[in-house]
Structure 1
Amino acid sequence: MTLKRVIRQTTIESVEGAGHFDAIVVGSGASGGLAAYKMTKAGMRVLVLDAGLVPPLWQRPVSRTLNGLVKLVSNPIALQYLPARVTWKAREWLKLAGRHRQAVQSTCYAWEGLPDGFVDDLDNPYETPDEQSFNWIRTHNIGGRMVVPGHGRQYLRHSESDFSPSDSASPDWPVTLAEMAPWYEEVERLLQLSGQANGSEWVPDSLISNDISPGPAQRAIMHAIQEKWPEARPMLGRFADPLDSMAMAAETGQLACRTGAMAARLLVSGGQRAQGVEFYDKRERRRAKAHAPIVFLCASSFETTRLLLNSRQDGALRQTGAPDGPLGRYIMDHVSVKAEGLMPDRGMARADFDIGNCIYLPRFDLCSATARGTKRGFGVRLYRVPGPGERSYFTAVSDAEMLPNADNRLTIGDQRDRWGIPTLRIDYRLGRDEQYQMRDQ
């Protein structure tokens, strides 16, 4: 059975049927889709609730038309034939127009690739303290952020130093690299990763299905990097197309999927056992309930926290998230810096283009003797997208990890979204270490 057919057949009546499902999964992104696939493959009847539902053209004619134009001018194929000045100017103007309903989402570099996949900021508000803004980027769509064009598609394992940081700024993870290794391998086998095994102490080797070598242009770039920074250890990224786990789950015949379902709160028994989920159904324009003895919360970290906090406020969860407890605290974001520009192709064949086939520089911070940021450092990814003529768009992206801080937290704010669900207040700021980290990057 196809996923489209599953979605068509998952009516509100079938969702509300008592005792119909073995498990409910909230969210259909990388984790939710894989959870659904694993359980349906084992013979369990699974319901996936996903918030995504693109409004019809007649309901949002301006935004739907605008979003179509945005996707057109940002398409990698179009970039090869349109003059660079034309595409940059068109994207700039269209992004400006998109701010009417997506003022926050349109600030994301990947927004242009799938505007309809990102939330409508007017329908999905949130609060921040005065003079302390935070851009909450979020998608509501089958597949989550992984299927957004422009996603880097990198799948790198954490190292032992990630699981057990030596800086004592946070406790060790409750699992080790050795314990995670078989789970990494299972996912990597499904993904069919392309890349190389490098023996890096910072990026443990993965299960590689398609062993590839750097092309001539990549070798030249790697050589130039090592000439300038001898301590650098450039490597190819490890990449794959997004795993279509929801379609794989649909093929088992055990999947139900309701789109346009905004999870509002957990249904919990008197013994604090999950019994299901209450959600707002965008099609029926009313609240509904789905029941199952197992519930997987696989929305984004912020959305999952909102669901738990709202469940606590409604009295469903008595012990989770006490006022002085950890729920909602220690929120962390990437400390990211990006540089991009249009440069000569340097001999790279256009037929070789794959957005995931990038160069990665692990722990590039170690190449600087003056780095003052966190001891956890940062890496750099170098991407290339074919441009007009004999030139390409090159992008360097550096991501670093924040340190946990209890004052960076999520609470339930005073606003409600379009569907009457209480929204988040995000209290977040960069600390001194993160500010030093940004300067290092």
Structure 2
Amino acid sequence: MTGIDTEAGPGYDAVVVGSGFAGSWAAKELTEAGVSTLVLEAGPARRAEEIPDRAASYTTAGRDTGATWPRQPVQSRHFHFGPRGPHLFVDDVEHAYETPPGMPYTWIRGMQVGGRSLIWGGSALRLSPYETRAGEVDGCSPAWPIGYEELAGAYEAVEGLLGLRGTAEDLPQLPDSLFRGEPSALTPAESDFRRSYRRPGTRPVPVRFVPAEAGGGGWPGFTVQATALALAERTGRLVLRPHARVTSVTVDPANGRATGLRWVDTTTAVRHHVRARVVLLCGGTIETARLMLNSRGPRHPQGLGNSSGLVGRGLMDHPLLTSEGVLPGYSPADARPWTGRQCGLLVPPPRPHGGDVRPFALWVSLQRRVRDGVVLGGIDAQGEMLPHRHNRVRLGSGRDRWGVPLPVIECGYGPHEERLYDAMRREIEPAASTAGLKDLSVADTLTPPGGNVHDLGTARMGASPADSVLDRDNRCWDAPNVFVADGSCFPSGGWQNPTLTIMAIAARAGRRAARLLRAGEC
């Protein structure tokens, strides 16, 4: 190993780990508040021209690609792998992880500046007041320490820059966002479904999404390079360091507070330590748990922030049940190929919520694919996975090339998710009949955990250090100058795609960290 460069540079007010959805929005808020900020990104920087036009190459993409890549057997399962390009996904051989026998987990990663925003489909949905208090209602998950009212302002701040497309619907289970444009046109089959589908308490609405049209610097609008990261760089207070693999958080043994981070330059193998007054962990749900568990020491013998024993536990994804059928009577000439969004319509769960499973939504894609001259369609269901304690990330005995223990991902569905499958199927079948789908094929099982790329949990926030890792402001109870602001902080997952909420929470945490720095509390 190359020698350690122990105290390189003067240090920073804040150091952020990761430059994706969470890291870029945290960095934006920090730098705009006058905070000198270093962002450490494990992967390379990309150029805008490396990101394909999202409107191209989706005609034949989808569930039946059958792609197999020897060094990317996991990544090649992702819908965007072919259209966006293998270069935007990690090498599974170099970035290995372990799973127990019989418990597959599909860990999709975009390790690069911008993270998974470069492979994002763009769906952006708010949580509703129900999701933030679901645990109080049914007792099946920990309660959120913040309510929807506290998230609403953060949502608006993020949405103001994203240029969301959608329609105001005034549905309590799906709060409206700030929209700056109309949604994409529906296909004739989707328009017919929207008119004819009836279910008390809900109705089909156009999918809400961030458009692909180029933003700043020619970057597609769905990338953070077009929004948060660009604004952070504009302040002149951001230093962005690609190829910087963080290996551990360093801690003052006297008080347990973070002093900085150890990282390795993956292009030179030179190891570094950087000092920081505040550390923000935004590297993604699984990597954040891995980093915290690997940051052990006298003050944190079980890992950073892990006095509760909950770091790594409660891993979640959004279970997905897929279907596909034939649409007779609709012309292939009127089909509208997918452009990165697989669906034209969303049917939110009805109100009021109740029953023996958490709510789920239907995603409706009709007349978007043509195979051998036959028009196809599908109705999928996306729901909530409970944060089971036994679903977790832990450190294994193997190590990567930089000496960091490989993560072992233990994640499987339980009785709730089994009931969820049955409930989803009962809703898909009549909806498919309304759509006119024939020869309907419904998957026998839910998509394996991780396959929806909505990994959440592992360092949840809460009201007490006894049953959570973070406080309501995303600060570690055990190390108050460490913030965790990615998907790992979610106490429960809701049914909604989480990306918009991750960005809102990260922005909120960045603002809070900046205020504490100004007040001299960090």
On whether the aligned pair clears a TM of 0.5, the verdict is yes
RMSD of aligned alpha carbons: 3.6
Q: How does 1:12-411 map to 2 (within 5 A)?
A: 17-53=8-44, 76-78=55-57, 91-92=65-66, 95-96=67-68, 98=69, 100-112=70-82, 113-148=84-119, 151-165=120-134, 166-211=137-182, 215=186, 217=188, 218-226=190-198, 229=199, 232-240=202-210, 241-242=221-222, 243=224, 244=226, 245-270=228-253, 271-312=255-296, 314-315=297-298, 317-318=300-301, 320=304, 322=306, 325-340=309-324, 344=330, 355=341, 358-363=344-349, 374-383=356-365, 385=368, 394=377, 396-411=379-394
Judged with a 3 Å threshold, the aligned counterparts in structure 2 of structure 1 residues 357 and 435 are, in CA distance, closer, same or farther, namely closer
Q: TM-score, structure 1 length as denominator?
A: 0.79
Q: TM-score, structure 2 length as denominator?
A: 0.67
Give how far 1:321 is off: 5.2
Return the alpha-carbon distance in structure 2 between the equivalents of residues 107 and 356 of structure 1: 15
Identity, % of aligned positions: 32
Return the alpha-carbon distance in structure 1 between the equivalents of residues 45 and 161 of structure 2: 29
Structure 2 regions of 5+ residues with no counterpart? 211-220, 425-522
Letter in 1 for 2:348: P
Give how far 1:299 is off: 0.9
Judged with a 3 Å threshold, the aligned counterparts in structure 2 of structure 1 residues 246 and 324 are, in CA distance, closer, same or farther, namely closer
Cα displacement string for residues 203-227 of structure 1 (whole angstroms, at most 9, x for unaligned residues): 112222225596573432312333x
Give how far 1:284 is off: 1.1
Return the alpha-carbon distance in structure 2 between the equivalents of residues 293 and 103 of structure 1: 40
Return the alpha-carbon distance in structure 2 between the equivalents of residues 23 and 37 of structure 1: 12
Give how far 1:14 is off: 12
Equivalenced residue count is 396
Cα displacement string for residues 25-79 of structure 1 (whole angstroms, at most 9, x for unaligned residues): 1011111111111112222221111111389xxxxxxxxxxxx9xx99x975345
Cα displacement string for residues 372-396 of structure 1 (whole angstroms, at most 9, x for unaligned residues): 8x53121122347576998877554
Give how far 1:404 is off: 1.9
- Corresponding residue SS for 2:92: coil
**Retained in 1: the 8 A contact 2:58–2:340?**
no
**Retained in 1: the 8 A contact 2:132–2:144?**
yes
Judged with a 3 Å threshold, the aligned counterparts in structure 2 of structure 1 residues 54 and 33 are, in CA distance, closer, same or farther, namely closer
Cα displacement string for residues 154-200 of structure 1 (whole angstroms, at most 9, x for unaligned residues): 22111111011121112321001111111111111111221111111
**Retained in 2: the 8 A contact 1:52–1:117?**
no
Judged with a 3 Å threshold, the aligned counterparts in structure 2 of structure 1 residues 419 and 392 are, in CA distance, closer, same or farther, namely farther
Higher helix fraction (1 or 2): 1
Cα displacement string for residues 390-431 of structure 1 (whole angstroms, at most 9, x for unaligned residues): 887755442211112211122111111122211111222210
**Retained in 1: the 8 A contact 2:184–2:344?**
no
Letter in 1 for 2:345: I
Judged with a 3 Å threshold, the aligned counterparts in structure 2 of structure 1 residues 169 and 118 are, in CA distance, closer, same or farther, namely same
Return the alpha-carbon distance in structure 2 between the equivalents of residues 286 and 352 of structure 1: 44
Return the alpha-carbon distance in structure 2 between the equivalents of residues 152 and 89 of structure 1: 15
**Retained in 1: the 8 A contact 2:343–2:364?**
no
**Retained in 1: the 8 A contact 2:41–2:244?**
yes
Judged with a 3 Å threshold, the aligned counterparts in structure 2 of structure 1 residues 305 and 172 are, in CA distance, closer, same or farther, namely same
Return the alpha-carbon distance in structure 2 between the equivalents of residues 354 and 139 of structure 1: 16
Return the alpha-carbon distance in structure 1 between the equivalents of residues 275 and 238 of structure 2: 15
Return the alpha-carbon distance in structure 2 between the equivalents of residues 316 and 139 of structure 1: 33
Cα displacement string for residues 86-119 of structure 1 (whole angstroms, at most 9, x for unaligned residues): x789943xx22x1x11122222222222322222
Q: 1:62 maps to which residue?
A: none
